[in-house]
Copies of this chain bind each other. A is one copy, B any other.
Amino acid sequence: MTKSLRLGIAGLGTVGVGVIKIVQQNVALLSSRANTSVKVTAVCAQSRTKSRSVDISDYAWEDDPVKLAKRDDVDVYIELMGGEDDPAKASVEAAIAAGKHVVTANKALLAHHGHALACAAEDSGVSLRFEAAVAGGIPIIKALAEGLAGNKIQRIMGVMNGTCNYILTRMEHSGLTYSEIFEEANQLGFLEADPNLDVGGVDAAHKLVLLSAIAYGTQVNFDAAQLQGIGAISTDDITAAKDMGYRIKLLGLSQMTDQGLEQTMQPCLVPYHSPLGQLEGGTNMVVVEGDNAGQIVLCGAGAGEGPTASAVMSDVMDIARNISIPTFGIPAAQLTRAPAAQSTTPSAYYIRTSLRDAPGVLANTARALGDAGVSIDRLRQQNHEGDSAPLLIVTHPTKPSHIDRALSSIAATGETTNDPIALRIVEV
């Protein structure tokens, strides 16, 4: 055993405390596996005096994460504050400039500034790692960047936001509305300060674009992702999906096509009894399809103290073991700028709308669909609700552009009583 690896941790919320617990409790195990001792030397958080479930009195304290990142007694700077801008960004830049390795759980930071930071880390000869940024305790970054390194990756799918999955499964089990369960999740502290990060699909899309960069060797490009949140999902949708053998999940999908990189994060119908369909609550699942490995599925807790801290420690242990590969798997200078592609893959779609209860209205809607090139597989008119009649349609496989056209045409009939929604049906 040579020298020790010294950690400086910025951010002592759930994950930071979890990392300290692992370092304190599994000290012998970590030393044996790393062949060096791993210890925390300095920390930084918003409050020094806040009551915490770990003893931090042995660690040096900094008020400023940038100062922590540059300390002489820190080899690895662990950024657990979150947020795409400063102080997280400034502190990571400072650590890299000072020749420190960086481990972060910050998906927003990397989704927006990942390419620049990866370039900086390589120039500085340090590691920048982010296992904890995607899918909590699931070692998906390692599986993708190293375990499947012999594969041309063909597609990635994933349910990677536990809060959305909690809301959707709770709506199903309780029969309560989106608004009611949203409020419940908020009371339970499941939602981010800006709830749109969760229910708008932003957080999950941050994760997806990081996986895309590794999978296809491309520069992280969050702006190219197409997002649709879960706010428009009704209990009727959930019930109708279930009746047809499906379940609604906020599903991320990324693939490289001849047109460019497709990255979508949107509520989709997946088969009820498929692995993705069976996911409950905060569990995450990522499906990776490689040209040789075929379909590999990884599943586990997507958040929480232990799982996320486990992922942080996986990166720390790699650094302790001198395992070093470029941040996104290949040298940053070789990452390509793939154009963003609209999805053109035909899928069946679930469409819900609600029509004025009047003669000829259904015919007009059916014509709008036909004119848009959308062919109907199944159609169901529900019990009338006052003057309107909910209408559920499952289409034959259709290009997304045709579905968009169809939705506009239906709305343009002036005979709908709400905005029609369309959800992709993904058979996995």
State whether B137 touches A26 (Cβ < 8 A).
Answer: no
CB distance from A245 to the nearest CB of B (A): 14
Q: How would you classify the secondary structure of chain A's contact residues: helix, strand, loop or mixed?
A: mixed
- The answer to the question of A381 belonging to the interface, with a C-beta cut-off of 8 Å to chain B, is no
- A137-B323 contact given A310-B151, A314-B150, CB 8 Å threshold: no
A291-324: which have CB < 8 Å to B? Answer: 291-301, 304, 306-307, 309-314, 316-318, 321-324
Partner of A306, one of B278, B291, B334: B291
- How many monomers of this protein are in the complex? 2
- Which residues of chain A in 318-363 are interfacial with respect to chain B, using CB atoms and an 8 Å cutoff? 318, 321-325, 329-331, 334
Is A377 located at the chain interface by the 8 A CB criterion? no
Verify if A290 is at the interface (C-beta below 8 Å from B). yes
Known contacts A142-B146, A146-B323, A150-B30; A307/B292 CB under 8 A? yes
Please give, as numbers and ranges, the residues of chain B lying within 8 Å of A275 by CB-CB distance.
275, 278, 299
In the bound complex, do residue A301 and residue B294 qualify as a contact, i.e. CB atoms below 8 Å apart? yes
Say whether A152 contacts B29, CB under 8 Å. yes
A217 and chain B: residue at smallest CB distance: B32
Mark A142-164 against chain B: 1 for CB-CB distance below 8 A, else 0.
Answer: 11001111111000000000000
Most central of A150, A296, A313 by chain B CB within 10 Å: A150
Residues in B whose Cβ lies below 8 Å from that of A217: 29, 32
Kindly state the separation between the CA atoms of A293 and B305 in the bound complex, as whole angstroms: 9
Is A33 in contact with chain B by the CB < 8 A criterion?
yes
Number of interface residues of A (CB under 8 A): 59
Cα–Cα distance between A151 and B26 once the two chains are bound (Å): 8
| Most chain B Cβ neighbours within 10 Å, of A273, A293, A297, A298 | A293
Residues of B within 8 A of A34 (CB): 149
Min Cβ gap A172→B in Å is 16
Question: A138 near B: Cβ within 8 Å?
Answer: yes
B292 touches A309 (CB 8 A): yes
Which residues of B have CB within 8 Å of A295?
300-301
A297 and B300 contacting across the interface, CB-CB below 8 Å: yes
The residue from B273, B291, B316 contacting A273, defined by CB atoms under 8 A apart: B273
Contact between B325 and A321, CB atoms less than 8 A apart: yes
Most chain B beta carbons < 10 A, residue from A29, A149, A275, A300? A149
Instruction: Assess whether A18 is interfacial by the CB under 8 Å rule.
Output: yes
A146 x B293 contact (CB < 8 A) = no
Interface membership of A131, Cβ < 8 A: yes
A139 near B148 with CB under 8 A, answer: yes
Output the nearest chain B residue to A26 by Cβ-Cβ distance: B152
Q: Contact at A310–B33, with CB atoms within 8 Å?
A: no
A293 neighbours in B (Cβ, 8 Å): 137, 300-301, 306-307, 310-311
Nearest B residue to A316, CB-CB: B150
The proximity string for A residues 114-136 relative to B, scoring 1 for CB distances below 8 Å and 0 otherwise, is: 00000000000000000100000
5 more CB-based (< 8 A) A-B contacts, given A29-B217, A32-B334, A149-B318: A26-B150, A150-B312, A290-B310, A291-B306, A293-B301
Q: Which 10 residue pairs of A and B lie closest in terms of their CB atoms, listed nearest first?
A: A139-B147, A150-B313, A137-B293, A292-B306, A149-B317, A293-B310, A292-B310, A296-B300, A297-B299, A142-B147
User: Can you list 22 A-B contacts with CB-CB less than 8 angstroms, sorted by A residue number?
Assistant: A32-B334, A137-B290, A137-B294, A143-B147, A146-B146, A146-B318, A150-B309, A150-B317, A273-B273, A275-B275, A291-B306, A292-B306, A292-B307, A292-B309, A292-B310, A293-B300, A293-B311, A297-B298, A297-B299, A297-B300, A298-B299, A321-B325
